[in-house]
Amino acid sequence: MDQQTFLTQAMIFLAAAVIMVPIAKRLGLGSVLGYLLAGIIIGPAVLGLIHNDSGDIMHAAEFGVVMMLFLIGLELEPALLWRLRKSIIGLGGLQVLLSAVIIAGISFGLGLPWQQAVALGLILSLSSTAIVLQTLQEKGLMQQPVGRHSFSVLLFQDIAVIPMLALFPLLQNLPLGDATGDEHSTLVDGLPAWLQTLVVLGSVALIIGAGRFVVRPLLRLVAKTRQREVFTATALLLVIGIAVLMMQVGLSPALGTFLAGVVLANSEYRHELESDLEPFKGLLLGLFFIAVGASINFTLVAAQPLIIGGLVLGVMAAKAVVLYLLGRSAKLSLNDRFLFAFGLSQVGEFAFVLLTFTNQHGILPQELTSLMVAVVALSMALTPLALLVHEHLLAKRLQPANASARQQDDAIDEHNQVIIAGFGHFGNTVGRFLRAHKIGLTILDNDADRVELLRRMGFKVYYGDASRHELLAAAGAESAKLIIICLEPSEKRLELIETIKKHFPNLRMLVRASNRYDAYDLMNAGMLHIYRETMDTSLRVGVDAMRFLGFRAYTAQRAASLFFKKDEANLRKLSAIRDEEEYILSAREKIEELEKLLQTDMVQNMQDIERGWDEESLIDAAHRASDATVQP
C-alpha cells in the first residue's frame, strides 16, 4: 500500500467513525453499533469504499482486543482475580462446554460429520470480548455481579482458545488444501512437545517476572525523563512486545498482555499506563468493529437469507438459554440474568481466526466457513440490538425490584477521605501531620523517585498529572471529603481546580498559594480556603524578632495572630476590588498596594491592644472616684 492509498483508507475509516458513532450515540444505540454500521456503509455492500479483503485491517484491529485485555488486566489486581477463580472456571467452563455440546449436537443432527460438528460447537461457543466489555463499560456495569460474571466467562473463553488450536488438527476430516502456507511459523514449531510446553510455561513466567522486576524500574526510569511521549511509547512497546513474544511461542497475545496487565495492576504507574493506552485501544477497537461490519458478505446473505437468518438466531438462542441457566445458578437477579444471556449470546472475534484455521487444516469446508463468517459477523452486529431490546422492553419491567441492591454494590470500593495533590515540601508536611493522626490519605504526585519511596513507606500513592480527570477519579475523588492542593506550579493548581469544579463539585478544596497575587487568582477561581505558603513562617520570624527585642512571648504571639487575621481580611477586601476592575497588577500598582497595606497595619494594630488587660482606665477611675468598690 503506498502512502496515498494508506492515508485515503485511514481517512475513510476515520470519517465513517466520526460520522456514524455520534449519530448512533445520539440515537441511544451505543458506540459499538455505530462502528458496525459505519463498517457496513463503507464496505462492499453499500458504498464499496473499502475492499472485502480487509484482512490487514482486521489484523491491525485485532490488536485492539489485545490492548483491551492489557487494560482489563491493569484493573484486576491478582487478589481480585483469585476471588473470581470459581466464577471463571465454573461459569466459563460450563458455558463453553454446554454451548459446544448443544451446538455440536444440533450440527451433527443436521447431518454434518462429527468432527465438523465438534469444531463448529467449540468455535461458536465463544463470545466477543470486544463487544461485550466495551458495552458493559459504556453502561458502567463492570463492577457489578453481571459485569464480573460476564468478564469471567470471557476470560475463560480467551484461555480456551489455546487448547482449541491444539486440539483442532485432530479433527481433520477433509483433504488438506494448499492454503496452509499462509500460516506463520512460530519459534517452537520444530521442537518436541515437552520442550514446547516448557517454552510456553517459561514465557508466562518471564512475563510475570519481568513485569515485577524489569518493567517497573523501567517505567520509573522513563517517568523520570518527564517526557510524556516516551512514556506512551514505553507503554505501547510493552504491549506489542508481549504480543510478539506470545505469538512466537504460539500463545494468545491477548492472554499474554492480560497477564502482564494483572502483574502491573499493583504498580504505581497503573493509571498513567491506563490513560496513555486508552485512546489507542478505543481507536483500534473501533477499527475492529468497522472491519467486522465491512466483512459481512451481504451477497451471501441475500442469496440464502433464510438459512443464514435461521443459523444466526439459532446459535444466539442456544447460547442465550445456556447463559440464562448459568446466570440463575450464579444467583443473578432476573434482570441481570437476561442481560447476561443477551450480552454474551453472539459469537466472538476469535471465531474468525478459528474458522480460517479450521479451513486450512481441512476440518471445515470452504462453503461452510464463508457461511459461518457471515453468521458470526451478523451475530455480533445483532448484539447491541439485542441489548437495546433488553434495555427498553425487559429492563424497565424488571429493574425497580433490584435498583436499590445495585446502588449498594457501587459502594464496595473504599477510599480515603483526604487526597493530597503534590507531595513536595508543602504537601508532605501536611501529609505527615495528618498521617500522624491516622487520617487516611491518598497522594497524587508526579515525581517518580518520591512515588517509589512513598509506596515503600506504605502510602497509597498514584503517579501522574493530578489535574487529569481519570487520575482523580481513580484516586477516589468521587467519595473523598477533601482535596489538599499543594502542587508547585500555580497554573497547575488552577487547572486542577477547574477539573474538580467540573467533575467533582462536592469535593472541598484547600489550596496552597505562593503569594498574595496567587491568592487573588485563587479567590477569583472561587476558592474559600487559601493558604499563602510564606505567611505563617514570616510571622513566626516576626514573633521571634519581637521576643529578641524584649517583648513578652505571649504579647508577640498575640500580635502575630492579630496581624494574620487583619491581613486575611485585607486580602479579601483588595481581591474584591481587583475582581471588579479585572486588571492585572503592574509592578507599580504592587508597590502602591504594599504602601496601603503598611498604612492600615499601623493604624489597626496599634489601636488594638487588649484593653481588658490594660489597667490604665481603671487607675484613672480610681483616682477620679472615691468609690473603689466598683472594681474587681
Partner 1 sequence: MPRLLLLFAHPALEKSRIHKRLIRELKSIPQVTFHDLYEAYPDFNIDIATEQQLLLSHDIIAFQHPFYWYSAPAIIKQWMDLVLEHGWAYGSEGRMLEGKKALNIISSGGPRHVYAPEGRNRFTYRQFLAPFEQSVRLCKMDYLPPFVVPGTHRMEQQDLETFAALYRQALILLTAGNAPTDPGAELLNDQLTSSGILTH
- With contact defined as beta carbons under 8 Å apart, do 320 and 345 qualify? yes
Site track 305-324 with partner 1 (rule: CB under 8 A), x = hit: --------------------
The residue within the footprint of partner 1, chosen from 175, 181, 505, 632 (CB under 8 A), is 632
* Interface segment toward partner 1; rule CB under 8 A; list 107-115, 298-306, 519-527, 607-615: 607-615
Least distance to partner 1 from the beta carbon of 264, Å? 42
* Interface segment toward partner 1; rule CB under 8 A; list 23-31, 281-289, 395-403, 624-632: 624-632
Q: Please tell me what DSSP assigns to residue 141.
A: -
Among residues 514 and 570, whose Cβ is nearest to partner 1?
Answer: 570
* Interface segment toward partner 1; rule CB under 8 A; list 33-41, 423-431, 445-453, 614-622: 614-622
Q: What is the dihedral of CA 309, 314, 315, 318, to 10 degrees?
A: 160
509: three-class secondary structure by DSSP: strand
**268-294 core/surface letters (b: 16 or more CB in 10 A; e: else):** bbbbbbbbbbeebbebbbbbbbbbbbb
Asked whether position 41 contacts partner 1 by CB under 8 A, the answer is no
Asked whether position 492 contacts partner 1 by CB under 8 A, the answer is no
In sequence order, the 6+-apart residues with CB closer than 8 A to the CB of 360 are: 177, 179, 180, 182, 183
In sequence order, the 6+-apart residues with CB closer than 8 A to the CB of 540 are: 560
Least distance to partner 1 from the beta carbon of 390, Å? 49
Among residues 589 and 620, whose Cβ is nearest to partner 1?
Answer: 620
Asked whether position 611 contacts partner 1 by CB under 8 A, the answer is yes
Asked whether position 625 contacts partner 1 by CB under 8 A, the answer is yes
Among residues 47 and 625, whose Cβ is nearest to partner 1?
Answer: 625
Among residues 429 and 561, whose Cβ is nearest to partner 1?
Answer: 561
Q: Which secondary-structure segment (H or E) carries 328? A: helix 305-329
Asked whether position 621 contacts partner 1 by CB under 8 A, the answer is yes
Asked whether position 618 contacts partner 1 by CB under 8 A, the answer is yes
Rg (CA), the chain: 33
* Interface segment toward partner 1; rule CB under 8 A; list 28-36, 372-380, 430-438, 623-631: 623-631
- With contact defined as beta carbons under 8 Å apart, do 204 and 196 qualify? no
Q: Which secondary-structure segment (H or E) carries 460? A: strand 460-463
Least distance to partner 1 from the beta carbon of 537, Å? 17
* Interface segment toward partner 1; rule CB under 8 A; list 31-39, 173-181, 278-286, 611-619: 611-619
- With contact defined as beta carbons under 8 Å apart, do 347 and 380 qualify? yes
- With contact defined as beta carbons under 8 Å apart, do 280 and 67 qualify? yes
Asked whether position 617 contacts partner 1 by CB under 8 A, the answer is yes
Residue 106 bridge partners (DSSP)? none
Asked whether position 229 contacts partner 1 by CB under 8 A, the answer is no
Least distance to partner 1 from the beta carbon of 234, Å? 49
* Interface segment toward partner 1; rule CB under 8 A; list 199-207, 359-367, 407-415, 608-616: 608-616
The residue within the footprint of partner 1, chosen from 227, 304, 524, 631 (CB under 8 A), is 631
- Residues 83-142 within binding reach of partner 1 (CB under 8 A): none
The span from the CA of 442 to the CA of 428, in Å, is 12
Binding-site size, partner 1 (CB under 8 A): 15
The span from the CA of 79 to the CA of 62, in Å, is 28
| Cα→Cα distances 548→398, 541, 543, 552, Å | 77, 11, 9, 9
* Interface segment toward partner 1; rule CB under 8 A; list 27-35, 57-65, 401-409, 604-612: 604-612
Among residues 189 and 610, whose Cβ is nearest to partner 1?
Answer: 610
Nearest alpha carbon to residue 474 among 463, 487, 458? 463
The span from the CA of 568 to the CA of 558, in Å, is 15
Asked whether position 605 contacts partner 1 by CB under 8 A, the answer is no
Q: Which secondary-structure segment (H or E) carries 310? A: helix 305-329
Least distance to partner 1 from the beta carbon of 628, Å? 12
Among residues 50 and 535, whose Cβ is nearest to partner 1?
Answer: 535
Among residues 194 and 613, whose Cβ is nearest to partner 1?
Answer: 613
Asked whether position 586 contacts partner 1 by CB under 8 A, the answer is no
The residue within the footprint of partner 1, chosen from 550, 612, 626, 628 (CB under 8 A), is 612
Q: Which amino acid is at 91?
A: L
513: three-class secondary structure by DSSP: strand
Among residues 502 and 611, whose Cβ is nearest to partner 1?
Answer: 611
Q: How many residues does the chain have?
A: 632
178: three-class secondary structure by DSSP: coil
Least distance to partner 1 from the beta carbon of 208, Å? 48
Nearest alpha carbon to residue 36 among 20, 59, 60? 20
Nearest alpha carbon to residue 341 among 398, 303, 290, 292? 398
Asked whether position 628 contacts partner 1 by CB under 8 A, the answer is no
Least distance to partner 1 from the beta carbon of 614, Å? 8
Among residues 396 and 565, whose Cβ is nearest to partner 1?
Answer: 565
- DSSP per-residue string spanning 405-434: HHHHHHTTS---SEEEE--SHHHHHHHHHH
Burial (0-12, 13-18, 19+ Cβ within 10 Å), 616: exposed
Among residues 237 and 621, whose Cβ is nearest to partner 1?
Answer: 621
Asked whether position 594 contacts partner 1 by CB under 8 A, the answer is no
Nearest alpha carbon to residue 323 among 348, 303, 341, 342? 341
Among residues 401 and 621, whose Cβ is nearest to partner 1?
Answer: 621
Site track 548-577 with partner 1 (rule: CB under 8 A), x = hit: ----------x--xx--x------------
- By the criterion CB under 8 A, which residues form the site for partner 1? 558, 561-562, 565, 610-613, 617-618, 621, 625, 630-632
